[in-house]
A and B are shown apart, each in its own frame.
Chain A
């Protein structure tokens, strides 16, 4: 094939341009650390990355939800533990008050102590975090119990507070007061009230029966504590699982979008050599023609 001067120059320029483009591509990967600069670099990976990043974002949100849940569970758990201890103390005191040898004075004194315990129970029942009552079900802005004429009435509802901690899995982070204080089988607050009145009145036989109710109320609290501790375990397990998942996602995101630096750098060096060679060839081009030898 006849090679004209023009085609030599044009070919050289085209080759130089493509060598430069290759070098630029690798250089861009090295300097940004990313191999996916735009969707056309790898359409399938780019689309996949969109989905992975959504999962990534959501998983991080679930982890934040878990820490919210854990803080709520901590509050619920300590409130319920305190309640359980109060009912145990109340039971013990009552047992002491109901022995035959106990005088009415002593019973009155114990009744007074029970009044104190009842106050504590009322305080626990009205536990609030940031002004939100934890034992009102979903009516968190309402004081759970009101008292009138020695009788307690529940003001909340029976919706437990649920937090989604992973896709399709919610855990219960609170127990409504109706399940703790005024369950159908045991009504703690009114039982305590009754007990105090019966002790004051010296009605041992009735107080004996009411003590049974108090112990039943303790069992109801235990059931609530069980629910909460189950949730705490669940939250811990899911937390570990999500952290593992997040690690997988991080490495997947990195696999999709991060440049393989070792490859990128050596390819850049390679393409730089090619670029320099091309420039060198250009410098030698058209150095001579027959004209140089015409005398």
Chain B
């Protein structure tokens, strides 16, 4: 259709185009603070051309599509970095607590109690018949045993808390998978038609980032645009809108993560869940084992030395500590209750002989074979060092990871984020265009009026 009416149609089309454009600007501005929002833009295309004797004539502009601007490669990298961040976060949670448990600097920690314990034997050796010093030695032994027990109990409860967090994480993963599936119900038909997913896609991307932070997954699409999410070991978690979630099962010594009834705990190596499991299996497990070795060696070494002596009644010393084999740290306690049964003297010595008490005080410098030829104190300081190093390492990894992620998010924002200045310029442009079209319409209208007046004077 040519002529004035055709021109009016073109103007009308442009007015409607500009209205759409303004609403896109409006949406962008409205979402300026929405996390993960990808700005939209309108892609225009010239309208269909009409063949005229004198050449091709256009019919104005059409909106081809509205698309969200995003860098898919960048977004998948962000997802991966979230896996690493989650992994470090999962470890940091337990490590910072572990640090306070082993590193008690308040003067009542295990090393302090070890020092006081050996000090008490040292003092007893100089005055072995003193009933009060004997009581002090027994009390110091009890305090040391209690301190080891309470540290072991705190490690156990840290272990339990960590397990609960693994379960929380599994629940979070399941609910995220369900959320993603819900989004897919609406999003996938659009994608299958080759359309832009817009905010649905943004929402799914946000959910995917959260999922990645929770556990390491691999995301792909099959030929018919169905989303496929698997674990890094290839177990299917989501296929389009179908979710195969994870479950947990408590076992004797931990929490298993199950997928379709199969224990996949050892396959989870990234994200918060991976970090939690890694902490549990590495640093926490080794610290618990180390504390137990310390307790076990303490029990056997001190008991052996105590057996070598004789007590105030002239009888051979019995066990000083008692503990359940294999679980020494949780069960260590002092077996000697009567101060007279403390074997401070060497066999044949009188009540004033402190030779055996001295021998027990000397255990402080003994390089214990079962502790890698370290003294008790040095062995504990090694635990402090190891935990400190692990925590320090995770902290710096986490700082670094935050920076990496910040940079990527900045890059993503620079591609997809909303800039108000830019939107203002667009707004101006569309406004002017709208004004121009209205103006044109006005001119066309007056021309049409002129024409009508000619016909009808």
A residues at B contact (CB < 8 Å): 1-7, 9-11, 14, 34, 36-44, 46-51, 53-54, 57-58, 60-62, 64-65, 68-69, 130, 132, 136-142, 156-157, 159, 161-164, 167, 170, 173, 257, 289-291, 293-294
Shortest B161–chain A CB gap in Å is 18
Shortest B17–chain A CB gap in Å is 20
Alpha-carbon separation in the docked complex, A62 to B414 (Å): 68
Alpha-carbon separation in the docked complex, A48 to B351 (Å): 39
CB pair B385 A43 closer than 8 Å? yes
Alpha-carbon separation in the docked complex, A43 to B96 (Å): 13
CB pair A3 B350 closer than 8 Å? no
CB pair A138 B350 closer than 8 Å? yes
Query: Are A10 and B384 also in contact (CB < 8 A) when A58-B122, A132-B352, A141-B350 are?
Result: no
Alpha-carbon separation in the docked complex, A173 to B353 (Å): 12
The one of A4, A34, A38, A164 in contact with B122, judged by C-beta atoms closer than 8 angstroms, is A164
14 sample A-B contacts, Cβ–Cβ < 8 Å, listed by A number: A3-B414, A5-B33, A6-B37, A7-B410, A10-B410, A43-B389, A47-B381, A50-B377, A51-B381, A141-B352, A157-B350, A161-B354, A162-B355, A163-B126
Query: Are A46 and B388 also in contact (CB < 8 A) when A137-B352, A139-B352 are?
Result: yes
CB pair A54 B111 closer than 8 Å? yes
Chain B residues within 8 Å of A293, by CB: 424
Closest to A50 in B: B381
- Residue B417, interface by CB 8 Å: yes
Give chain B interface residues in 7-41, CB to chain A under 8 Å. 32-35, 37, 39
- Residue B202, interface by CB 8 Å: no
CB pair A6 B417 closer than 8 Å? yes
Shortest B79–chain A CB gap in Å is 18
CB pair B352 A170 closer than 8 Å? no
Closest to A17 in B: B402
Chain A residues within 8 Å of B387, by CB: 39-40, 43
With A132-B352, A137-B352, A291-B427 known, 6 other A-B pairs at CB within 8 A are: A38-B388, A46-B384, A69-B126, A161-B354, A162-B355, A164-B122
Closest to A6 in B: B417
- Residue B338, interface by CB 8 Å: no
CB pair A138 B353 closer than 8 Å? yes
CB pair A53 B111 closer than 8 Å? yes
CB pair B415 A2 closer than 8 Å? yes
Interface centre among B102, B127, B365, B385 (most CB of A within 10 A): B127
Closest to B33 in A: A6
CB pair B417 A39 closer than 8 Å? no
Chain B residues within 8 Å of A38, by CB: 96, 99-100, 103, 105, 388, 391
CB pair B102 A39 closer than 8 Å? yes
- Residue B298, interface by CB 8 Å: no
CB pair B129 A140 closer than 8 Å? yes
Chain B residues within 8 Å of A142, by CB: 350
- Residue B195, interface by CB 8 Å: no
Chain A residues within 8 Å of B355, by CB: 162
Chain A residues within 8 Å of B424, by CB: 289-291, 293-294
Alpha-carbon separation in the docked complex, A64 to B419 (Å): 74
Kindly state the interface size class of chain B when it binds its partner: 35 or more
Instruction: Identify the stretch in B112-120, B177-185, B245-253, B322-330 within 8 Å (CB) of chain A at 4 or more residues.
Output: B112-120
Chain B residues within 8 Å of A57, by CB: 112, 115-116, 119
CB pair B111 A138 closer than 8 Å? no
Shortest A92–chain B CB gap in Å is 35
CB pair B122 A137 closer than 8 Å? no
Alpha-carbon separation in the docked complex, A163 to B350 (Å): 15
Interface centre among B105, B118, B409 (most CB of A within 10 A): B105
CB pair A1 B123 closer than 8 Å? no
Chain B residues within 8 Å of A3, by CB: 413-414, 419
- Residue B345, interface by CB 8 Å: yes
The one of A11, A36, A140 in contact with B352, judged by C-beta atoms closer than 8 angstroms, is A140
CB pair B385 A65 closer than 8 Å? no
Interface centre among A6, A42, A69 (most CB of B within 10 A): A6
B residues at A contact (CB < 8 Å): 32-35, 37, 39, 95-96, 99-100, 102-103, 105, 111-112, 114-116, 118-119, 122-123, 125-127, 129-130, 345, 348-355, 358, 361, 364-365, 377-378, 380-382, 384-389, 391-392, 395, 402, 406, 409-411, 413-425, 427-428
Query: Are A4 and B413 also in contact (CB < 8 A) when A46-B384, A65-B122, A290-B421 are?
Result: yes
Shortest A251–chain B CB gap in Å is 18
Chain B residues within 8 Å of A141, by CB: 129, 350-352
CB pair B364 A58 closer than 8 Å? yes
CB pair A161 B352 closer than 8 Å? yes
Chain A residues within 8 Å of B129, by CB: 132, 140-141
Alpha-carbon separation in the docked complex, A142 to B314 (Å): 14
CB pair A5 B417 closer than 8 Å? yes
Alpha-carbon separation in the docked complex, A76 to B416 (Å): 91
Closest to B126 in A: A163
Alpha-carbon separation in the docked complex, A137 to B354 (Å): 12
Chain A residues within 8 Å of B420, by CB: 5, 289-291
Closest to B348 in A: A157
The one of B348, B380, B421, B427 in contact with A50, judged by C-beta atoms closer than 8 angstroms, is B380
CB pair B115 A139 closer than 8 Å? no
Shortest A48–chain B CB gap in Å is 7
Closest to A292 in B: B424
CB pair B377 A68 closer than 8 Å? no
Alpha-carbon separation in the docked complex, A105 to B342 (Å): 58
Alpha-carbon separation in the docked complex, A61 to B364 (Å): 13
Interface centre among A39, A51, A137 (most CB of B within 10 A): A39
Query: Are A47 and B358 also in contact (CB < 8 A) when A64-B123, A136-B350 are?
Result: no
Alpha-carbon separation in the docked complex, A220 to B98 (Å): 63
Interface centre among A7, A68, A141 (most CB of B within 10 A): A7
Chain B residues within 8 Å of A4, by CB: 32, 39, 413-414, 416-419
Shortest B190–chain A CB gap in Å is 25
CB pair A48 B122 closer than 8 Å? no
Shortest A292–chain B CB gap in Å is 9
CB pair A164 B126 closer than 8 Å? yes
CB pair B409 A54 closer than 8 Å? no
Chain A residues within 8 Å of B406, by CB: 10-11, 14
Shortest A259–chain B CB gap in Å is 13
Closest to A133 in B: B352
CB pair A138 B114 closer than 8 Å? no
Query: Are A68 and B127 also in contact (CB < 8 A) when A2-B415, A46-B388, A159-B350 are?
Result: yes
Chain B residues within 8 Å of A164, by CB: 122, 125-126, 358, 361
Alpha-carbon separation in the docked complex, A172 to B321 (Å): 31
Alpha-carbon separation in the docked complex, A249 to B416 (Å): 60
List 8 tightest A-B contacts by C-beta distance, closest first. A4-B417, A39-B388, A43-B388, A139-B350, A140-B352, A290-B424, A138-B350, A7-B413
